[in-house]
Structure 1
Amino acid sequence: MADNHSKEVRSMNMSHIRSTNSRPEEIVRKYLFSKGFRYRKNVRSLPGTPDIVLPKYKTVIFVNGCFWHKHDCSRFVWPSSNQEYWIPKIQHNVERDKKNIEALNILGWAVITVWECELKKKVREKRLEQLCAEIKGECVNGTD
């Protein structure tokens, strides 16, 4: 599908996409705070500037958009236009995510990723409960 917007309009639209304090991040932070977790936001001194850092648990949380980080779910679809731009960009995001997770693990941090699609109303409560268990290091779904 061809882009229906001019380059200037598309640029303006893209500039309004927030990289911090997004609605999914706010949902996760609000839930964690209500459960007694205390955290820091967007800590630049850590690789990848994690969205949420829980120093007490030596755990970081990334709240990722399914499109921007190529989640294997129905929300991710390769754009049909301007693929020469989007494919390398998204692949670069995925590679950067892997490197940041590896660097955080080497530093001794546990890394949890919460995907945008996991915060839809139908599945949100279950995922957030699971997140709390993961932070506390409890067994979740038969895995550690």
Structure 2
Amino acid sequence: MTTIYVDADACPVKAEVERVATRLDIPVVLVCNGGIRPPTNPLISLRIVPGGPDVADQWIAAQCGSGDVVITGDIPLADRCVKAGAHVLQHDGQELNAANIGPRLATRDLMQDIRAADPFHQGGGRPFSKADRSQFLQSLDRVARLAMQGK
């Protein structure tokens, strides 16, 4: 059975996940360190993990598997979930898979090294847009249907 796992701390698309999950009748697990109101939708459960670095990531990686969908912006978590056979989506709807996770990890590590070497080069991503939200909805619908079919 397909489950959608959401790395819920600072996730901007929880409402969109609920919409798609309700339409497709897929259970969702929101995983966080706390601070999220318990959902009223019976398909959605809240898993609060102890505080600490990467505790939520470790829990998600240990639970997900083939046929599941993981929503995260964390590239190392995405890598672990892809290796476990899960479908992985970022908040902007980009799918991470075996073909593209390696270069994404390398870029992340390079940027981390650049920021560490030059504290004034902090960068920063572009703002989350309505187009990102729309792309996420379309991608989640497509990926969830594939996961439900075992593809």
Q: Which has the larger radius of gyration?
A: 1
Question: TM-score scaled to structure 2, two decimals?
Answer: 0.39
Question: TM-score scaled to structure 1, two decimals?
Answer: 0.40
